[in-house]
Amino acid sequence: MDVAGDPEGPRPPGGDGPQGSARETPSRLSREQLFVLISAGSLNLGSMMSYSILGPFFPKEAEKKKASNTVIGMIFGCYALSQLLASLVFGKYLVHIGAKFMFVAGLFVSGGVTILFGLLDQVPEGPIFIAMCFLVRVTDAVSFAAGITASFAILAKTFPNNVGTVLGSLEIVSGLGLVLGPPLGGWLYQSFGYEVPFILLGCITLLMVPLNMCILPNYESDPGKQSFWKLITLPKVALISFVINSLSASFGFLDPTLSLFVLEKFNLPAGHVGLVFLGLALSYAISSPLFGRLSDKMPNLRKWFLVLGNLTTAGCYMMLGPVPVFHIKSQLWLLVLILVINGISAGMSIIPTFPEILNCAYENGFEEGLSTLALVSGLFSAMWSVGAIVGPTLGGFLYEKIGFEWAAAVQGLWALTSGLMMGLFYLLEYSRRRRYVKVPNTLGTEEERTALLSDEIKP
């Protein structure tokens, strides 16, 4: 089933070739495209709120149930690990399962387990409570992996030439969910108790299920012959995956470290710490659609976005403390400014990664269709999950050993390395293409000369 209003079928999004640049995108959204955006937006908003709602009050409730700080950290951390494994499986078998079914099923299970999380305060304390927390959290992660993998594939199928723009625009919804989740959850918890935040959010998510069953298009495709292994072993895809790891880890690094640093360094009230994170979330959400639009309209800018975005992110983490070798005094206004810049640089780096991987897959013989889109979607989600595991774990360890300033600098070195590696790869790629272009031109010139000489010799 091809995209509505697109009789030629999908092509590599924002391709660098003449066909991709010459082909115009309809200025108005079709009904099918609008419905897909509504579906993807509902998933992003609900999932991000469900993910972030735990922060303000769950650790306190878990301590009452005899869960240690280490166990609480593992309950949070198992989410990313489960999402990593599930994303690879769902990306491989999306075509067999069906994109629409996977999307709706993920949304349904997510709503159900969110309600179950609100009933955990009725579970006996100790090992039973801890086991149930792990079970519900893992199930939630698997459902989110199903929904988001199907969502990415459907979006890329529906908007083949505007993948960056659409993904960037949806980051506004994701950012809104992350921003609204903690304060809304905290207010509901204080006003109505532990159960209400989860039950309310879970019911809202379940109400989205029949809506998406009605409006989401059903895309069908034959299973492809390609595999994750062939995709990840492409040098360019491997390097972009490393970039995704780095950027995800940079976000995850801040979760266990930044709030402690702000409380200790600036003596802010606990309620004001969330406002510090707001600068990062808002700048990322606002800048992402802009970089998505630019990467679709001018695909050649993607490589610059990837390199410059990573190098800027590296500089931001060097300045978060700042690192002591700079001899710059740490100030709150400087910290907030750096977080705002970091949000912009993250949007610059993250948004082009999906269309870049997709173009690379097409250039290396992957068939254009839902099976390839599913592989790329699963790979992106899995690589993001790797960073979400490593970032908080490494960040918490380094914070204890060497302090926030040097720990942030180490995290910055990861972004610096990924940026320099991508820059070197693009330079080598540009040099290789110039060599290949020169050879045919030379041959063509020789053939022309031979033809001219033969014409002159003829009587």
Report the mean per-residue pLDDT for the chain: 80
CB 102 within 8 A of CB 147: yes
- pLDDT tens sequence across 252-293: 888 777 877 887 788 776 556 667 777 888 888 888 888 888
CB 323 within 8 A of CB 409: yes
Q: How far apart are CA 358 and CA 25, in angstroms?
A: 19
Sign of the Cα torsion 422, 427, 430, 432 reads: negative
> What single letter denotes the amino acid at residue 414?
W
Res 210 pLDDT > 80 = yes
Tokens of 149: 């993998």
Instruction: Look at the block and give the residue holding tokens 């690379």.
Output: 360
Instruction: Look at the block and give the residue holding tokens 């594939």.
Output: 153
Instruction: Look at the block and give the residue holding tokens 């349904």.
Output: 108
pLDDT at 142: 92
Alpha carbon dihedral 386, 389, 391, 393, in 10-degree steps, equals -150
- Is the pTM higher than 0.85? no
Of 200-204, 241-245, 262-266, 360-364, the poorest mean pLDDT is in 262-266
Residue 116: other Cβ atoms inside 10 A: 17
Res 102 pLDDT > 50 = yes
pLDDT at 69: 67
